[in-house]
Amino acid sequence: MKVAYTQKTAQEIVHLVLTGKLNTDPIGQRPPTSQTYSKSRDIIWSLLMGVGIGMITVRDISEDKEMQKIYPGVHYLVIDGGHRIRALIKFYQNKFPVNKKKFKELNIDLSNFQVA
């Protein structure tokens, strides 16, 4: 098994999810545990304040023929970090505010935020 560490920006993560290249809810991944956005708000606050959101672990299945049968067109499956990525997506989609402001009200570029 080959292991590689790369850093992506929050914007790159958003793009991968929205284009269907990154699946945050593969079989076996724990589903969302809350109906509210309180934990998601804390996650995004940590990202915006420079604390970060920790390492996200994914499995590259882009060359795995058997996995492509199950997840056609998907390049990565989330192993750890599904909730953090879902929080990022929901924030980007303007679903909840952080510090009383939604994403579209803030003048931020997610390309400036690294996600390990």
pLDDT at 34: 67
Q: How far is CA 53 from the centre of its chain?
A: 10
Query: Nearest 5°: CA angle at 83, between 81 and 89?
Result: 105
pLDDT at 58: 94
pLDDT at 35: 73
Summarize the confidence of residues 21-41 as an average pLDDT: 84
pLDDT at 27: 87
Q: Average the pLDDT over each of 3-7, 31-35, 38-42 and give the range with the smallest value.
A: 31-35
Summarize the confidence of residues 48-56 as an average pLDDT: 92
- List the one residue out of 21, 4, 28, 22 whose CA is nearest residue 85: 22
Tens-place pLDDT, residues 76-107: 999 999 999 999 999 999 999 999 999 999 99
